[in-house]
Structure 1
Amino acid sequence: MIVNVRILREGDYLALTIENLSERRPSLVLGDVQKYNGRLPFGILFSRFGFANNIAPSSELSDIWAKSFFPSNIQLRSKPQLDVQLNKDYDIVFKNTKFQWQTITLVETILQLVKHLPNSRLLVGTPSNSSADLITTRLLDSGDLCPGDFIRLVSQNQIEKELIPEHLLPYCATIDISADGTSNDDMIITESGLKLKCQMKYLGRHRVTISTCSTLGNFLQMDFAKGHFTHALIDESGQCTEPEIMITITQVSRYRGQVILAGDPNQLQAVVTNRYAAENGYDLSFLERILARSPYLRTSLDIRSHVVLILA
């Protein structure tokens, strides 16, 4: 929140100077609407709520929004995407091969998708950096992915405050939202392996991209090819605000994409400090909202405390 600011006229526009900001912070994009009634002084609040809700309905998914995100019935596929079975010992069996379980539901899902769907490109969104770090660590510990298969996107603020775990530095990167060919600056690799100012031509190579939902919103400004990402997986989705989730899932392929929500709707809820947002229902997560509708009602399905929803 910026208070007591002065806006000066520059030609046909009003200009606001903000001191001591990191580059492109805040990054204003289409949907960040500011209204000014001519009175002084006043304050300015930069928020991603408006951005998320403006981008979602007008995205490539707009015409299947209601059916996909708020379905009224279940339509089973004639053939499963992966014919995975459980044997009598509850081991995962695929093509007569037994696989080891991971301790985190979403990590297991990521590994199976990468292994058995060669053309998949996964966005993994979380409500917090600690959650993103944990998933990245578990993927690293699994030994099933090569270093170039996945990437953990971080913010400049995390770097400046030295909040990135040392063992994850070689797998972390920051985003340069400039379009390819418009910037002369190349990617910088530090002694620790941390990659800075990565552009689309580099980020598009990875099978799995992990970050907070809000940071993944940077991809919306990078003009990735439609259909580049095939899956969106949200960890601890009960703690994510609905706009945060929409920022991630609107980037999934319209024709072959899937959305997976993992979380516990009976534990911590999304934290919303803005009173206006809370009064208008933004403190209710998308997971909670969809579980209150058919066909996900408890009367329709036997849903336990920890749930994984797949929206095809």
Structure 2
Amino acid sequence: MYPQDTYNRPLSSRRIHELLSQIFFSGIALRVWNLIIAHKAEATKRSSLETSTRPGTVTYAGVPLYLQSGISTKKGNRISVSIQTRQWQSHLQHRDHLNRERYTTFKMALDEAEKEKNGVVLEGDVDFGILEPTIGAKGKVASLKVLINVPLAKIALASVKLSGEMGSQQRKLVSPFSVKIEGDNRQLSTSHPILVTVAFTQEYVGRYQDRIEFQFQDQQLKKDFIISRTAKATVGDRTVHEQLKAKAPYVPRVRTTREPEVKVTEGPAAPSLNAIPYATKLPQAAIPSHLLSALSISSQPTKENLSSIQRGFLPAMLGAETHGRHFKALLWIEEHKMEQDLEHYDMEGSKLNKYNKYYYLTVPGLAEKRPSVLIGDRILVRKNGDKRGHWHAGHVHVVQRYEVGLVFHESFRGWAPTQTYYVRFKLTRIPLQRQHQALDTVLTQSRILFPNSSHLPMAPIPKLLSKVFNKLISTNPAQLQAVTSIVLAVPGSLPFVIFGPPGTGKTITVVEAIAQLVWKDPNTRILACAPSNSAADIIASRLSGILGPDQLFRMYAPSRGEGQVPDNLKAYSYYRNNGNLRPCFSVPPMEVMKRYRVIVSTLISASIAYGIGMPRGHFSHIFIDEAGQATEPETFVAIKTIADNSTNIVLSGDPKQLGPIIRSGIATKLGLEL
């Protein structure tokens, strides 16, 4: 009898392995694992047991599986599941099972090490709590007392080590914690504890953790054993931590099954959507129906799904000519997952507050961007009791801290302060459409997409620059060499990559290189981008001390609020009053745009330059800071739409820091990250 799913279809061998692994190594696994092992030995000798429901199958009573249809899985029920013996044997050797078995073994070993044993007791606490950076820099000390509560036992403390310091020389970590055994005594006693001091020194904000391993020797049994403790510390502002900590235990949102949208009455779009005079039309780039069907069956990143997606929807070879098709498919996969995740925020029983033409909706989590709502987005509402499938689409015209202002079609009637509505958030596809637009362009240069040794310059290493704008650059040979190489690179060079850990001056190097290029060549035109507005503002703010408003332009999307812009950058932006409508950010006429030496924007907003008709090749250089936090299609919004054969590209970032937020496990596995 083969295991079946809820549709009475036989489960594949792969799915059986997954379910068995997930269940046997869940919270109840340890209680039944010995039972499974005992049955395994017997099952290998016999083709069936007396309790088998059919010849050739094995039944394991008490094993909490739910692989068969028709099995009651109510709490407390005794369950018997039948699978073929050969499937069970295959499962035990499968990679999923072995990986979970190794993980469980490792987790059990760590849990066991935390327990006090053989009468040894560790007294004290090594959780340093929240420390201000000034205190963390000076250092703080905690202590543990090591004693024994068995008077006649002969146990000695052999060593105390931090787990981060163990292993090979190459894998050792520099820990902010340090440990020391005070005094010369190593013999444990009931009355004279051994004192172990734990010091923590760290000035940088963050959370820190290390495991302290106490190795003891039982001198009677000639046997060693270990007891561990976890040292923790958080460096930061205590007041901020208190304000940001959870007010109540987290309760996950319950995902609902969405009813179909049979009829949607659209409200008037936000005026800011027409604030920029776009000359190019965005592609619809809807998810292909065959891909949507495949993802609707399963969007989990299993080996089978990955293989199926690769065979059916990705080009056989990834190269310059197939690059766009490859990443368009990954974008569609990510969009499908984003739409699924947005369902978690759907609301029932919500009320609207009316003020003039705006209907204000309170959105829990709006301040934390869960969900993220911007001006121009769409939110569907349906009055409780109205016909299912019929919705009114309210376009977001106002975004405040906890609520958004919607404008509906004039047919939206029947509002009352007590009236309740179903609310559905809709995915804003414009950023995705911008990325599809970029991937559809004809730029397929190998020196940008897939550079190799043939693209390397043969010129000698250039002489270092003698003049710098930032004095710190002149004292750092690596930064100065990077700036020199960028400034003196010939047009059409390989992409230049600046990388390094946090605090090593990557953004400073980018800003210095931009300033040098502007100073040395009056024909230089630069597009400088970053994944986020905050990162782009940092670049613009540092350049504002060198370049004036006639040379530097900070290009903001119309959805950006004026209050979100630093005061020192307002003179470098273009805030337009649309007659009687709400003012918003826009761009000046094309002739003015072309005169700017440097334009700074986010990666997605970089599409504005292409959208208004900026000619390809206008920018001699394109800089992307914090590139490691962007997906590859996002970076190509700034590159593929506007670069030409001569454009030089500079990427800056840290590949070891957190990457972009990608919701789809399939898209992550297939390489959507940069």
**Smaller-chain TM-score bracket:** 0.5 to 0.7
Q: Distance in 2 between matches of 1:25 and 1:138?
A: 31
Please say if 1:157 is aligned against 2:559: yes
Post-superposition offset of 1:18: 4.3
Post-superposition offset of 1:277: 4.3
Question: Higher Cα Rg: structure 1 or 2?
Answer: 2
Aligned counterpart, 1:202? 592
Q: Distance in 2 between matches of 1:261 and 1:149?
A: 22
Contact 1:132 1:212 in 2 (8 A): yes
Q: Which amino acid aligns with 2:515?
A: L
Equivalent residue in structure 2 for 1:166, among 567, 592, 602: 567
Q: Distance in 1 between matches of 2:593 and 2:576?
A: 8
Cα pair distance change 1:114/1:163, threshold 3 Å: same
Aligned counterpart, 2:432? 49
Query: CA offsets, 1:139-179, max 9 Å, x none?
Result: 122x3x2321111011233225x100112111112699xxx
Post-superposition offset of 1:67: 3.5
Q: Distance in 2 between matches of 1:7 and 1:233?
A: 45
Q: Which has the higher contact order (CA 8 A, sep 6+)?
A: 1
Aligned counterpart, 2:452? 72
Post-superposition offset of 1:109: 1.3
Equivalent residue in structure 1 for 2:539, among 135, 139, 152: 135
Contact 1:53 1:246 in 2 (8 A): no
Structure 1, unmatched stretches of 5+, are: 9-15, 95-100, 177-184, 286-312
Equivalent residue in structure 2 for 1:243, among 613, 622, 633: 633
Matched ranges for 1:1-312 at <5 A: 5=261, 17-19=266-268, 21-24=270-273, 29-34=281-286, 45-47=427-429, 48-59=431-442, 61-62=443-444, 64=445, 66-77=446-457, 83-85=462-464, 104-141=508-545, 143=546, 145-159=547-561, 162-173=563-574, 196-273=586-663, 277-278=667-668, 280-282=670-672, 284-285=673-674
Q: Which amino acid aligns with 2:572?
A: Y
SS of structure 1 residue aligned to 2:536: helix
Post-superposition offset of 1:34: 3.4
Post-superposition offset of 1:50: 4.8
Cα pair distance change 1:175/1:212, threshold 3 Å: farther
TM-score by length of 1: 0.65
Cα pair distance change 1:35/1:281, threshold 3 Å: closer
SS of structure 1 residue aligned to 2:560: helix
Contact 2:628 2:660 in 1 (8 A): yes
Cα pair distance change 1:33/1:245, threshold 3 Å: same
Query: CA offsets, 1:290-309, max 9 Å, x none?
Result: xxxxxxxxxxxxxxxxxxxx
Query: CA offsets, 1:170-198, max 9 Å, x none?
Result: 1112699xxxxxxxx89xxx9xxx97452
Q: Distance in 2 between matches of 1:200 and 1:6?
A: 42
Q: Distance in 1 between matches of 2:390 and 2:660?
A: 33
Aligned counterpart, 1:182? none
Question: What is the percentage of aligned positions where both structures have the same residue?
Answer: 26
Query: CA offsets, 1:92-151, max 9 Å, x none?
Result: 598xxxxxx99712101111111123211111110111111111111122x3x2321111
Contact 1:102 1:108 in 2 (8 A): no
Q: Distance in 2 between matches of 1:201 and 1:221?
A: 15
Contact 1:238 1:264 in 2 (8 A): yes
Q: Distance in 2 between matches of 1:206 and 1:3?
A: 50
SS of structure 1 residue aligned to 2:591: helix
Contact 1:174 1:198 in 2 (8 A): no
Cα pair distance change 1:228/1:7, threshold 3 Å: farther
Tell me the number of residue pairs that the alignment of Structure 1 and Structure 2 aligns: 247
Q: Which has the higher strand share?
A: 2
Post-superposition offset of 1:71: 1.2
Aligned Cα root-mean-square deviation (Å): 4.0
Structure 2, unmatched stretches of 5+, are: 1-257, 290-388, 392-423, 467-473, 485-504
